[in-house]
């Protein structure tokens, strides 16, 4: 099968492209900077460039779309251009090229409205109610993708939840760096119960969605390890794997939300070089439960996670040990 994987310079996209190439698929990667995935053809460009998108989609049988603008801050127009318009361009290009399968990689945040999620399935994407520009634009993009589902063009939306693993710079390294600098509190004692997904499991779920697209089309599926744990325990596991003392100071979630609102206003005027230290969305994610019923996902995709959280933490520790030696 000829498969286009967008966003392969990221940890998850690279993993998907590598897995598909390793099993013998003819893989093309499409992203703005080189990914250099072994065995894959590479096309550089942006998903908001119609000519580049058309060139990448030409001749493909299927698409796994991971490319997105992921941030807690930034101009709404930038999120809309990449996440919404880019997805629409890719959907059109894939159909024009004759592709029959399209896996849209979404996020559980598209259905998170600020309150706890306790054992729910994949609720409907809510662009008007989702929290923050990233979640709102991903929700709109997911709706556009599922609306394109049609005979001969099977679309599946997959929402991996909090993906982490060795080499992760989006979550793990930021947690470790902020903890090491003493700038990482836990909210409400870190008691909120949340699901996460070890990267190898997220990769295998996306491959399963690609393979099962003709049976599972038209639906959205949340993917997790199915092992909800308190936020403080998850953060501590990442910190200990990196040899860093976990945070022990706690901040009330209500205070963090208020601080996040202030930070967002300041960041809009004077943005920093990195992600803001706190936003309302981040405060909500760290202080509310969000764990999911995985029965429908596992049934429809014929998939189960192969790597437990404890094994994932062991692999993360091995990664940091090897990096320190090098």
Candidates 70, 49, 32, 115; CA nearest to 289 is: 115
Candidates 6, 129, 109; CA nearest to 57 is: 6
Residue 140's SS3 state is helix
- Among 134, 198, 319, 320, which one carries the catalytic annotation? 134
CA 43 – CA 46 distance, rounded (Å)? 10
Cβ 104 vs Cβ 141: under 8 Å: yes
- List the structure tokens of 16: 């998907």
CA 232 – CA 50 distance, rounded (Å)? 44
Q: What is the dihedral of CA 84, 89, 90, 91, to 10 degrees?
A: 90
CA 252 – CA 139 distance, rounded (Å)? 29
Q: Is 320 a catalytic residue?
A: no
Cβ 53 vs Cβ 47: under 8 Å: yes
* Residue 150 burial (10 A CB sphere; 0-12, 13-18, 19+): exposed
Active site residues: 134
């Amino acid at each position: 099968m000829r498969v286009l994987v967008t966003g392969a310079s990221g940890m998850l996209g690279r993993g998907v492209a590598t897995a598909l190439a390793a099993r013998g698929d003819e893989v093309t990667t499409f992203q703005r900077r080189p990914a250099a995935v072994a065995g894959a053809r590479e096309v550089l460009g942006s998903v908001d460039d119609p000519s580049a998108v058309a060139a990448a989609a030409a001749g493909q049988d299927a698409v796994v779309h991971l490319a997105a603008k992921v941030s807690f801050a930034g101009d709404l127009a930038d999120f809309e251009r990449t996440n919404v318009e880019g997805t629409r361009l890719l959907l059109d290009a894939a159909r024009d090229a004759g592709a029959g399968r399209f896996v849209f990689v979404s996020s559980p945040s598209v259905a998170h409205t600020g309150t706890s999620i306790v054992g729910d399935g994949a609720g409907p994407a809510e662009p008007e109610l989702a929290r923050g520009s990233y979640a709102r634009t991903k929700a709109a993009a997911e709706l556009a993708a599922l609306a394109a589902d049609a005979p001969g063009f099977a679309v599946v939306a997959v929402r991996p939840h909090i993906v982490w693993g060795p080499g992760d710079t989006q979550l793990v390294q930021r947690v470790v760096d902020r903890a090491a600098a003493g700038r990482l509190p836990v909210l409400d004692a870190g008691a909120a119960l949340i699901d996460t997904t070890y990267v190898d499991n997220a990769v295998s779920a996306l491959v399963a969605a690609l393979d099962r697209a003709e049976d599972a089309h038209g639906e959205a599926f949340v993917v997790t390890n199915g092992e909800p744990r308190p936020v403080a325990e998850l953060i501590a596991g990442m910190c200990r794997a990196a040899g860093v003392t976990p945070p022990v100071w706690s901040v009330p979630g209500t205070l963090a939300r208020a601080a996040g609102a202030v930070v967002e206003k300041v960041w809009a005027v004077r943005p920093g070089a990195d992600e803001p230290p706190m936003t309302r969305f981040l405060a909500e994610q760290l202080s509310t439960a969000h764990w999911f019923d995985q029965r429908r996902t596992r049934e429809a995709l014929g998939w189960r996670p192969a790597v437990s959280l404890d094994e994932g933490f062991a692999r993360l520790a091995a990664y940091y040990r090897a990096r320190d030696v090098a």
